[in-house]
Amino acid sequence: MTVTKGKPIELEDVVVKFVGDSGDGMQLTGTLFSDVAALAGNDLATFPDFPAEIRAPHNTIAGVSGFQVHMGKRKIYTSGDMCDVLVAMNPASLKANLKWAKKGATLVIDSSTFEQKAIEKAGYVESPLDDGSLDSYNVIKAPITDLTKESLETLGVDKRLAERTKNMFVLGLMFYLFGRDIEKPLSFIKKKFADKPKVIQANQVALQAGYNYGDTTEAISSTFNVDPAPMPKGLYRNIHGNIATAWGLLAAAERSGRPLFLGSYPITPATEILMELSKHKSLGAKVFQAEDEIAGICSSIGASFAGSFAVTTTSGPGLSLKSEAIGLAVITELPLVIVNVQRAGPSTGMPTKSEQSDLMQALFGRNGECPLMVMAASSPADCFYKAYMASKYSMEHMTPVILLTDGYLGFGSELFRIPDVNDLPPIKPPIADPNDKNYKPYRRDESTLVRKWAVPGVEGLRHRIGGLEKTNIDGNVSTDPLNHQLMVNIREEKVFRIGDYIPLQEVYGEETGELLVVGWGGTEGALRSTVARLQEEGKKVSHVQFNYIKPLPKNTRQILSSFKKIVVCELNNGQFVNYLRMLYPEYPYHQFNKVQGLPFHVQELTDIFNKLLEE
């Protein structure tokens, strides 16, 4: 029997969140759902939310895993605040995430899992399906686990496989709810399980069963429709920040003509960069998984000395371990890109949660006067471009560059228009000419103070390398105090002069006004969305998002001086605002800080900005 549905409800945008136990496949479900949204032409942003505990007990809040998708027919900047549709696979996931559902939201709940033991384990006194606490929501109670097992009975699959396939039932149900083509994810399933035909068949049957359930159940009175978003023509894909970072590094290697070497140690949430680069040996990438963080960066420094474009990737704790070796890269003036995918600390902290708490470490976390360039990416797709530009500045200016992303960007995804590598800015490393009879290891370009990159083993380019101080020009080991002062000043000035080559800071909105919202790195989406909303209301609010941290763009002071009030918003306790106070102490800064392992929400930012405007 087919239930007659009403006309689809047209939506500008919608936030869908999939939550369940760690083994329920919510990450895969959310990924496939967002991929199909991208194929349908929707703009989108995603936010995977992993449990911080490894193998947390089954049916506990600590073990809940989630994946949030924000899709729309307009430009999407964030993964969304509150969700319009929440899919909850067990009592614990409902308990942990109901606070993120809007009143009146659609709740799709696997009623099969609401047994008394699981209900109590989640912290409920009685079942929320029966106590009236969900009356303000549109609840679809679907025995998903039971229906999945029932649909697979004729295939003769074992109980474990049947239970693991319930996420495909959910996906089929959601495809019905949003009018999506269920054929789209089948190619992925066939490729992923190419050597397991029974698994392919089980997933296919479960997917169709979920779609059919949506079509026949009376619990769904209407479906939703989100039209495609207008976007420039081009080749697009849904890309995660870590993958985009890896691709940016590969593009830089191609444009520079230098072979890519990555020396790294796996660490959440940066490991996927290492994994992605390891797939591209055909492009000349060499990937070394070291025994620890120190070996990872030291191998990269060795590769840089040998003439390779060298990279190391890590997160906050790993950056701490790399700090001494970063000093070696600074004093030897070798190019090296250090990608730090930030996570909540200190120590192990909350390893799967995102923060912006490593800025001061990136700027100052080394012994001695140890300057280097610091950059930050602002969205998953922007990770590609900032990785590319970090590589360009590192090689062309013979300096280490720290690129800050974060777990929210690295694990999150958005639509990425794939560029033609030939359209990217050229990269021209200052390779030493063996025919230059006047070659000296620390002879510098007068405008940039950059020394030449001499590849060892080339006749005529012999020079010393290492962590001891060298004389300028000749590069001989020296403990002369005046020479040390000179070299310290040169290394600092060399980084400062990169400011002549970075773009001026752009302002979103009017260049003067009542309130300037300042952010850096991965908070751009939430800040931009909030400011855009206030500008539509006629309020004199503008926004700047810094990607170049050291050096800052040359027009920074001019921008800061053009507004009556400045508020700096960060996912830390105020590191960038204190950096601005050091450099531009003449301005009174307000600040809004959040350290919860969660991104900013548009509504909380709106409240803060309105309060500042009213004061």
Give pLDDT tens digits for 484-513.
999 999 999 999 999 999 999 999 999 999
Q: Which residues make Cβ contacts (< 8 Å) with residue 81, sequence separation at least 6? A: 15, 601, 602, 603
Rounded Cα–Cα distance for residues 328 and 584 (Å) = 30
Looking at the domain covering 513-614, what would its CATH class be?
alpha beta
Q: For residue 331, which of 459, 441, 446, 252 has the smallest C-alpha distance?
A: 441
Q: Which residues make Cβ contacts (< 8 Å) with residue 73, sequence separation at least 6? A: 11, 12, 13, 42, 43, 226, 227, 228, 229, 230
Find out if CATH 3.40.50.970 is the number for domain 233-502. yes
Rounded Cα–Cα distance for residues 108 and 178 (Å) = 13
> CB–CB of 550/499 below 8 Å?
no
Rounded Cα–Cα distance for residues 585 and 174 (Å) = 53
Q: Do domains 233-502 and 513-614 have the same CATH topology?
A: yes
Rounded Cα–Cα distance for residues 467 and 457 (Å) = 20
Q: What are phi and psi of 531, to 5 degrees?
A: -65, -40
pLDDT of residue 2: 45
**Angle between helical axes of 144-151 and 197-216 (0-180°, round to 10):** 120
Q: What angle do CA 264, 389, 443 make, to 5 degrees?
A: 90
pLDDT of residue 157: 83
Rounded Cα–Cα distance for residues 494 and 442 (Å) = 13
In Å, how far are 105, 536, 577, 591 from 127, measured between CA atoms?
A: 19, 44, 47, 42
> CB–CB of 229/365 below 8 Å?
no
Q: Which two tokens stand for residue 123?
A: 């912290």
Q: Which CATH number fits domain 9-225: 1.10.30.50, 3.40.920.10, 1.10.600.10, 1.25.40.10?
A: 3.40.920.10
HSE-up of residue 251 (Cα within 13 Å, Cβ side) = 24
Which H or E run includes 63? none
* Ranges of each domain in the chain: 9-225, 233-502, 513-614
Q: Which residues of the chain have pLDDT under 50?
A: 1-2
Which H or E run includes 28? helix 26-39
Rounded Cα–Cα distance for residues 285 and 263 (Å) = 11
Q: For residue 502, which of 548, 534, 570 has the smallest C-alpha distance?
A: 548
In order, the DSSP letters of 341-378 are EE-B-STT-BTTS---TTHHHHHH-SSSS---EEEE--
Rounded Cα–Cα distance for residues 49 and 563 (Å) = 37
Q: For residue 170, which of 18, 13, 66, 38 has the smallest C-alpha distance?
A: 18
Residue 550: burial class (beta carbons within 10 Å; 0-12, 13-18, 19+): buried
pTM over 0.75: yes
Please write down the HEC assignment for all residues of 265-311: CCCCCCHHHHHHHCCCHHHCCEEEECCCHHHHHHHHHHHHHCCCEEE
pLDDT of residue 4: 53
Any bridge partners for residue 567, and if so which? Answer: 517, 590
Rounded Cα–Cα distance for residues 244 and 250 (Å) = 10
Q: Which two tokens stand for residue 490?
A: 């040169």
HSE-up of residue 131 (Cα within 13 Å, Cβ side) = 8
**Largest Cα–Cα distance in the chain?**
90
Any bridge partners for residue 17, and if so which? Answer: 68, 86
Q: For residue 392, which of 382, 381, 403, 406 has the smallest C-alpha distance?
A: 403
Q: Is the dihedral of CA 306, 311, 316, 318 positive or negative?
A: negative
Rounded Cα–Cα distance for residues 379 and 396 (Å) = 25
Q: For residue 417, which of 377, 376, 391, 385 has the smallest C-alpha distance?
A: 385
Any bridge partners for residue 344, and if so which? Answer: 350
